Amino acid sequence: MKEIFRSSGLEQWSRRLLAAALLGGQVLIHLLKGKINRRNVIEQMAVVGPGSLLIAMLTAATVGMVFTIQVAREFINLGAGTAVGGVLALALARELAPVLTAVIVAGRVGSAFAAELGTMQVTEQIDALYMLRTDPIDYLVIPRVIACSLMLPILTIISFLTGMTGGLLVASGLYDISQRVFLDSARNFLGYWDIISPLVKAFIFGALIAVIGCSWGITTTGGAKGVGQSTTTAVVTSLLAIFITNFFLSWVMFQGLGKAVLGGF
């Protein structure tokens, strides 16, 4: 039983993860050569951005409201009610906005990439591209990677603004915190690096989501059942990659090297 699990489960996942890493390297090489299908990039940007906007805004607004509810009362009791806006701004900018937006995109877009390319793989449409002397990486993968990498930072900015708006409404409506005090606190707490860091995170998260989703789709086997399994596994792997990468990025940006980088601003 252990041998079956090892060969069909963890070992297979490890091989596909290695294939995703190799695909990421191929994407980078192709990008350096300037092989970009602009039409496909624009089409994928429309899928990633506007298609995910509403759910990203709803999530960010809810998170901003809940965070404010959880923090405002305790801060007011401690006599630090004026810091609520700043704490919310830091939490959203550094972690909540980029990570939650990436999770949404992974669930919605990453799964779609895996399902679409997986269906193309099992129906031999990708083989047909080879017969037509069209590189699937240039035609299918790179446009999706560029679209996710460019649109996720934009979605993150919108999520941050929406989350702040939700927190502002709760703070002023439920806790009588002046809107001006709330916004001044956010402005005083945030630094230049707090605005740049979530964009860097979102860019990297977008690339990870696209590469993992496309890789799992291209390596799909087993017909319709394999497509379903690839879709599920691609989302789970993307989430793991987001959380693990976020830890190292946060450590670099705000603990270790981040101090030196921050000093440059």
Nearest alpha carbon to residue 151 among 103, 114, 206, 194: 206
CB-based contact 170:91 (threshold 8 Å): no
Nearest alpha carbon to residue 68 among 180, 156, 173, 155: 173
Query: Which residues in the chain show pLDDT less than 50?
Result: 1-7, 256-265
CB atoms within 10 A of CB 101: 31
CB-based contact 164:88 (threshold 8 Å): yes
3-state secondary structure of 124: coil
pLDDT the model gives residue 153: 95
pLDDT the model gives residue 149: 94
CB atoms within 10 A of CB 118: 29
pLDDT the model gives residue 8: 57
CB-based contact 156:97 (threshold 8 Å): yes
Q: Report the distance separating Cα 220 and Cα 14, nearest Å.
A: 14
pLDDT the model gives residue 162: 96
Q: Report which residue type is found at 133.
A: R
pTM for this predicted structure: 0.87
3-state secondary structure of 36: coil
CB-based contact 254:131 (threshold 8 Å): no
Average pLDDT in the chain: 86
Taking the CA atoms of residue 157, residue 163, residue 168 and residue 173 in that order, the dihedral angle to the nearest 10 degrees is: 160
